[in-house]
Amino acid sequence: MGVKGLRKMYVAAIVTLIGLQAIAAQDKSTRDDILAGLKADHPRTMLTNDRLAELKDMAQTDTVLQDYVSEVISRADRYMDSPKLEHKLRGPRLLHISRDCMNRVHNLALAYRWTGETKYADKAIDNMLTVCDFPDWNPSHFLDTAEMSNAVGTGYDWLYHYMDEKTRKKIRSGLIKLGLDPAIELYDKDKAWWTKSAFNWNQVCNGGLTVGALAVADTHPQKAEQIIKKAVETFPLALRTYSPDGAWGEGPGYWHYATMYTVFGLASMQTALGTDFGLTNIEGLDDSALFPIYTTGPTGIYVNFADAGERSRRRPMACMFWLAGKYDRQLYYNAEHKEVQKGRADPGHVMWYAPQKPTDEKVSLDKHFDGKVPVITMRSAWEDPDALFLSIKTGYNQVNHGHLDLGNFEIEALGLRWARDLGRDDYNLPGYWNSRKGGTRWTYYRLNSLSHSVPLLAGEGQDPTGKAHFIDVELNCDQPCAVLDMSSAYSDHAKRVRRGIALPNGRKGPVLIQDEYYIPNDKPTDVVWAMTTDADIKLNGSEATLTLKGEKMIARIISPSNAAFSKESAAQQPPEKDNKGVSRLLVKLDQPSGKTTIAVSLAPVWPEGPPPQIKKIMPLSRW
C-alpha cells in the first residue's frame, strides 16, 4: 500500500474512532446525542420530498429516468394483484416473505409518491397491515426480522401523511413489537450475535433495523436511540471487511446483499439525521463497487466462489448508484446503467439516480483485490462478450460462507464459462453450517475441495483451517501472472504447495495453471490436478478436447511429460444437488515425492484458430 493509501486509512480510522468515542463517552445517551439532527417530519428515510421534487424535474427531460420510473410503476401494477402475504416458513426462515414484503412496499409506495394514485398507497398499506398481524417476524432467524423492519419502516415513513392516525398506530405498533423490541431484548441480554459479526448478518440486521428505528424516532425516541446507537457502534466491524480496496470475502453474490443493507442504513441516517457518524469514511467502502464490476465475466456470470447461487449473475444493484453519488464515482453510475438496461430498474435506481456521462476513471484489464480474501481477475478485453477471462482466489477457508477452495480458478472464453465453481448447496441440509474442522459442512460435495478446481493430496481436500496468499503478482502487462502459496491448506501431506496462473503467450491464451509441490521423500502421496467444467471431455493421452455448445478448448499437460488426462463425473445423490452434466478433468500422479510440478495449458479455439502452444515452463520462483 502506498503513502496515499496509508494516509487514507489513517484519516478514516481517526474519523471513525472520534465518532465512536463521542457515542461511547456517555453510556446513558440522551436523545440529543444520536437523534439531535432528526428531521422532524416524514418522509425522512432515503427519499425525502425535496429529492423527489428534484427527480420529477429531471424526468421532464431525462428519458432514461422516465424509463426507470415506468419500470417501478409497472412492477407496482403487478403487485396490485399479488396474493396476501402469509406467515409460512421455509425451513427455519421467513426470509422469502420479508423480501416479498419489501419489494411490494418499496415499489408500491414509490409509485404512489410519484403518481399520486392512491391505489398504490392502499395496496402498500394493506401489505404492511398484513405482516403487522403476524405472530412474529421470526426473530430466531433475525435476518427475517431486520428485512421486514426495513419494509415496514420505509412504508410507514413514506406513506405517513396518507394514513390516518389509527392506521399509523397499528403499523407503528407492529413495527415496534415485531421488529425493534425483539432486537432491543437481544441487545439487553447481549445475545445479538450479529453485532459481533464482520459479514452480511451485521449489515442486514443493522441496516434494516436502522430504517425501522428512524421511521418511528419521533414517537419512540428511546427505542430508536438504542437501535441507532448499536448500529453506529457495531457497523464498523463489518465495514472494515471492505478494506483496503473493496473486496468482499463472502463473494460477489453476498457483496450485493451486504452492501445493499449497508446503503439502506447509511442513506437513511444521512437523510433522517444529517450524518452517518463517519461510517462512510471507513477504508474500502468507497472502492467497493469495483468488486462486482471486476468479478463479473464477459458472460455476465460472477466469479462464483463461496455460497453463491448456481451460475450467479451480475444483475442491477441500486446500491451502486448510492455509492456513485456518495463518493463521486461516475464510473459506478455508468457501469450500473449498463446493467439496468439489460435488466430492470428498482426503486433505488430512481431514488439515487444520476445520468451517464464520460469519466476519466477507467477500468484496467486486470485487478488484484487485497484484504483477507484476495482475488485476482484478468481479461483480454472489456467490451467483447467472447473475451478471455480468468480469476483465482486465496484467503482463508473459515471465512463466512466459505468453501474449501483456496486457489480455485474460473475461466471464460468464446462467450462460455469453461472452468466453473458450482456454488452452494441447500442451506437446509443437516449440518450445513457446522464449519469447524471435521464438521458436517465439509462432507458436502459442493462445499469441499472435491468439486473445486484445486489440488487434491492423498485423495483429500484442503484443511478447513487452511489459508493462502499471493506471493508474486504481475498484472496489466503483456504476460500477466500471479503466484500463490497454499501450503497451509495441505500441511498434512506436503511441506509446500504453490500455484501459478498466467497468460505467458498474451491475452488470447493459452491459460497456464502450474502447481508445484514439495512432498517429503519419506511420505510420498497421490496428487491430483483438477478442473470442474460443463464441457464434454474427449481424452487423448496428454491432450484433452473440451467441447461446450459447439465451441472448443484444448487442454495439454506440459509437465510431467509422461502424465495423461482422465475424467470423472461430478454427479451426486440426493439430498445434495445432482450437478447434472458437470465433469472433472483430472491429472493424477501416483505417490510422487520431493519436488513435483503439474503444469496444464488451456487454449480456447478462437475462430481464427487456437493460440500458440506453450513450449516450456519456468519454476514459479522465476515468474
Q: What are the tens digits of pLDDT across the range 59-104?
A: 999 999 999 999 999 999 999 999 999 999 999 999 999 999 999 9
8 A C-beta contact, residue 66 and residue 59: yes
Nearest to 230 by CA among 195, 204, 258, 200: 195
Q: Is 10 exposed, middle or buried (0-12, 13-18, 19+ CB in 10 A)?
A: exposed
Angstrom distance (rounded) from CA 509 to CA 503: 6
Q: How confident is the model at residue 32 (pLDDT cuts 50, 70, 90)?
A: very low
Nearest to 16 by CA among 336, 235, 274: 235
Options 3.30.450.30, 1.25.40.10, 3.40.50.1000, 1.50.10.100; CATH of 3-23+31-351: 1.50.10.100
pLDDT computed for residue 33 by the predictor? 86
3-state secondary structure of 126: helix
What is the DSSP-derived secondary structure letter of residue 397? T
pLDDT in tens, 588-603: 999 999 999 999 999 9
Whole-Å CA distances, 388 to 47, 378, 419: 41, 8, 12
8 A C-beta contact, residue 125 and residue 171: yes
Mean pLDDT of 154-161: 99
pLDDT in tens, 385-406: 999 999 999 999 999 999 999 9
Percentage of the residues of the chain whose pLDDT score is greater than 90: 94
pLDDT computed for residue 276 by the predictor? 97
pLDDT in tens, 195-209: 999 999 999 999 999
Angstrom distance (rounded) from CA 104 to CA 120: 10
In terms of DSSP bridges, do strands 409-413 and 367-369 run parallel, antiparallel, or are they unpaired?
Answer: unpaired
Q: Is the dihedral of CA 283, 288, 289, 293 positive or negative?
A: positive
pLDDT computed for residue 15 by the predictor? 40
pLDDT computed for residue 14 by the predictor? 45
Q: Is 509 exposed, middle or buried (0-12, 13-18, 19+ CB in 10 A)?
A: buried
Question: Residue 411: phi, psi to the nearest 5?
Answer: -135, 135
**CA angle 336–337–341, rounded 5-degree value:** 115
State the SS3 of 501-522: EECCCCCCCCEEEEEEEEECCC
pLDDT computed for residue 11 by the predictor? 41
8 A C-beta contact, residue 532 and residue 452: yes
3-state secondary structure of 347: helix
Percentage of the residues of the chain whose pLDDT score is greater than 70: 95
Query: What residue has cell string 484484504?
Result: 371
Question: Residue 438: phi, psi to the nearest 5?
Answer: 85, 5
Is the fold of 3-23+31-351 the same as that of 367-614?
no
- Per DSSP (E only), the strands in 7-147 are none
In terms of DSSP bridges, do strands 551-559 and 456-457 run parallel, antiparallel, or are they unpaired?
Answer: unpaired
| Mean of all residue pLDDT scores within the chain | 94
Q: Is the pLDDT of residue 436 over 50?
A: yes
3-state secondary structure of 291: helix
pLDDT in tens, 469-487: 999 999 999 999 999 999 9
Mean pLDDT of 513-540: 97
Identity of the residue numbered 152: V
Cα Rg, the chain, nearest whole Å: 26
3-state secondary structure of 496: strand
8 A C-beta contact, residue 122 and residue 139: no
Whole-Å CA distances, 447 to 81, 107, 405, 406: 40, 36, 8, 12
Mean pLDDT of 223-245: 97
In terms of DSSP bridges, do strands 481-485 and 409-413 run parallel, antiparallel, or are they unpaired?
Answer: unpaired
Q: How confident is the model at residue 219 (pLDDT cuts 50, 70, 90)?
A: very high
What is the DSSP-derived secondary structure letter of residue 214? H
8 A C-beta contact, residue 507 and residue 380: yes
Q: Is the pLDDT of residue 2 over 70?
A: no
Q: Is the pLDDT of residue 273 over 80?
A: yes
pLDDT computed for residue 299 by the predictor? 97
8 A C-beta contact, residue 563 and residue 519: no
Q: The C-alpha cell of 401 is what?
A: 460462507
Q: Is the dihedral of CA 525, 602, 467, 432 positive or negative?
A: negative
Fold category of 367-614 in CATH = Beta-galactosidase; Chain A, domain 5 (2.70.98)
Which ranges of 197-251 does DSSP label H, i.e. alpha helix?
200-215, 221-239
Q: Is the pLDDT of residue 572 over 50?
A: yes
pLDDT computed for residue 311 by the predictor? 84
β-bridge partners, 595: 518
3-state secondary structure of 411: strand
Q: The C-alpha cell of 351 is what?
A: 431514488
Q: How confident is the model at residue 21 (pLDDT cuts 50, 70, 90)?
A: very low
Q: Is the pLDDT of residue 26 over 90?
A: no
What is the DSSP-derived secondary structure letter of residue 198? S
Q: Is the pLDDT of residue 329 over 60?
A: yes
pLDDT-wise least confident of 28-42, 58-72, 310-324, 349-363: 28-42
Kindly report each contact of residues 330-337 with a partner whose C-beta sits within 8 Å and lies 24 or more positions away, as own/partner: 330/357, 330/358, 330/359, 330/361, 331/293, 331/359, 331/361, 331/362, 331/363, 332/289, 332/293, 333/357, 334/359, 335/289, 335/293, 337/64
What is the DSSP-derived secondary structure letter of residue 407? T
Q: Is the pLDDT of residue 237 over 70?
A: yes
585 Cβ contact list (under 8 Å, min separation 6) = 530, 531, 533, 537, 544, 546, 555, 565, 567
132 Cβ contact list (under 8 Å, min separation 6) = 152, 170, 171, 173, 174, 175, 178
Q: How confident is the model at residue 310 (pLDDT cuts 50, 70, 90)?
A: confident
pLDDT computed for residue 5 by the predictor? 43
Q: Is the pLDDT of residue 22 over 90?
A: no
8 A C-beta contact, residue 311 and residue 423: yes
3-state secondary structure of 489: helix
180 Cβ contact list (under 8 Å, min separation 6) = 149, 209, 212, 213, 216, 220, 223, 224, 227
What is the CB-side half-sphere exposure of residue 526 using CA atoms within 13 A? Answer: 10
pLDDT computed for residue 277 by the predictor? 97
Angstrom distance (rounded) from CA 197 to CA 194: 5
pLDDT in tens, 117-126: 999 999 999 9
Q: Give domain limits for the chain.
A: 3-23+31-351, 367-614
Angstrom distance (rounded) from CA 331 to CA 314: 16
Q: How confident is the model at residue 25 (pLDDT cuts 50, 70, 90)?
A: very low
Mean pLDDT of 499-513: 98
Angstrom distance (rounded) from CA 102 to CA 151: 4
8 A C-beta contact, residue 391 and residue 435: no
